[in-house]
Amino acid sequence: MDRARFLVSAGAALGATAFPGIAGAQATVTLPMQNGLRPLVAFPQKRPLILLTPRPPQLETPMAVFDEGVFTPNDAFYVRWHLANIPQSVDASTHRIAVDGAVQRPLSLSIDDLAKMPTVEVAAVNQCSGNSRGLFSPRVAGGQWDNGAMGNARWTGVRLRDILDRAGLAASAKQVQFNGLETPVLPTTPDFKKSLDVDVARGDDVIVAYLMNGAPMPILNGYPVRLVVPGWYATYWVKMLSDITVLDHVDDNFWMKTAYRIPDAPHANVAPGSTGFATMPINKMDVRSFVTNIADGASLKAGTTVLRGIAFDGGSGIRRVELSTDGGTTWRDAALEQDYGKYSFRRWNTRWEARPGSYTLAVRATANDGSVQTSTPIWNPSGYMLNTIGTYKVTVV
């Protein structure tokens, strides 16, 4: 895949021409895909990010942000909403989470109630199911993200299991359904609700978080409280969490039964154009890695160069990251940096004695569960779970 990655046109001239009416559009970015021109726009509580759609808001994090540190700053964290009725004013002091359904004691919990329960913190990657959808070949319809619909944060809150135990699950409990404050514009549009099997919901690391990187989260990331499901795609991380409903059946709402389904096949991979295959709800993330300090198409000076990046998977942790400077023919091990836990970005680095010429860099990660990225692209009709080895063309002068 040929990627003229990240051509940033700084200054107002091009931005003003391409997106004349957008306040705050300070520059444009051309993502490596057809119709890839995007404005960089600062939304409330956010620095300028790559604007995919303004309503509902969808904002992508530039790859260079991931080079700033292992945790993604709250003001640079990507944004993705499904439904356009998003509360633009939220009072954490009066917010309640209703816990009901197949429970012994229905609850109505305030943030203060949560704060009195045992506090837990987990470092975890939040990645959109459709991250990198714009890089699918053949292309598929949907939100056309490059690789920036992801971020890594320290999430602080309480274990979902502690909440469920306080309510007391009925013997009939099968799944736990989550709803937030966003609602559809039309009454005929299905409200956005997601569900987890009881055994997943009761996992050690699933939390109801009220802090993100030690601070209240931006409204666009779910203020005042959201679900955090480490290792699983972000569709389950319901924002502005308001309802926890224990179901005595498998959820058959649209967002579980019809949307966010993947082929029931390894790595969600089917032949392009396939139909009629069995499906399942999307779940754990596949292993991925990126170079964060050198963009595709970059020009470097000859000499010792540090290559740096990130890797993560669906919760087994990263065992190994390898780098190639010849397009994947030969590989060398990169050094893994500090370990912030099995759900976090793992930073890596390696030195490269760069001599003049043209090179194709490639990075691949291996997870502790043995899964490894490959150079064979996957395909599915919804454009989920892309994790092909990324390549970066560079020129050394």
Partner 1 sequence: MTKRLLAVVVVALGASAALAAGPAPPKGTVSINLPGDAGFGFKPGPGVESAQRYCLTCHSSAYVSTQPVLTKAQWTAEVTKMKAAYGAQIPDDQVAPIADYLTTAYGKPG
Which residues would be at the binding site for partner 1 (CB under 8 A)? 11-12, 15-16, 19-26, 33-35, 38, 41-45, 51-57, 83-84, 86, 88-93, 111-112, 114-115, 134, 139, 141, 143-144, 156, 184-190, 210-211, 214-217, 219-220, 223-225, 254, 258-259
List the beta bridge partners of residue 304: 353
- On whether the CB atoms of residues 316 and 22 are closer than 8 A, the answer is no
* Strand (E) or helix (H) holding 300: strand 298-300
Q: How far is the CB of 120 from partner 1 (least distance, A)?
A: 13
Shortest Cβ distance from residue 223 to partner 1 (Å)? Answer: 6
Smallest distance from partner 1 to CB 253, Å: 12
Q: Closest CB to partner 1 among 116 and 332?
A: 116
DSSP single-letter state for residue 17: H
Nearer to partner 1, 220 or 285 (CB): 220
- State the minimum distance, in angstroms, from the CB of residue 155 to partner 1: 12
Let me know how long the chain is: 397
| CB of 26 or CB of 316, closer to partner 1 | 26
Side-chain half-sphere exposure of 155, counting CA atoms within 13 A:
28
- The least CB distance from residue 69 to partner 1, in Å, is 18
- Using the minimum distance from each CB to partner 1, give the nearer residue, 348 or 379: 379
Residue whose CB is less far from partner 1, 37 or 336: 37
369 near 342, Cβ under 8 Å?
no
Least separation, in Å, of the C-beta of 389 and partner 1?
Answer: 22
Which segments of 102-225 are extended strands (E)? 107-110, 120-127, 150-159, 175-180, 193-197, 207-212
- Closest contact distance (angstroms) between CB of 301 and partner 1 is 31
How many CB atoms sit inside 10 A of residue 369's CB? 14
**At closest approach, how far in Å is the CB of 289 from partner 1?**
26
* Residues forming a β-bridge with 349: 308, 335
Tokens 């490959």 belong to which residue? 374
Nearer to partner 1, 222 or 314 (CB): 222
CB of 335 to partner 1, least distance (A): 32
What is the rounded distance in angstroms from the CA atom of residue 393 to the CA atom of residue 135? 16
CB 116 within 8 A of CB 109: no
- Give me the long-range contacts of 221-227 (CB less than 8 A, separation at least 24): 221/74, 221/77, 221/79, 222/180, 223/90, 223/92, 224/90, 224/92, 224/95, 224/111, 225/92, 225/95, 225/97, 225/111, 225/114, 225/157, 226/180, 227/160, 227/178
Task: Give 183's DSSP letter.
Answer: B
Closest C-alpha to 180, from 77, 80, 112: 80
Q: Which residue, 142 or 327, has its beta carbon nearer to partner 1?
A: 142
Nearer to partner 1, 91 or 353 (CB): 91
Phi, psi of 258 (to 5 degrees): -120, -45
Instruction: Tell me whether residue 25 or residue 365 sits nearer to partner 1 (CB atom).
Output: 25
Helix (H, G, I), strand (E, B) or coil at 323: strand
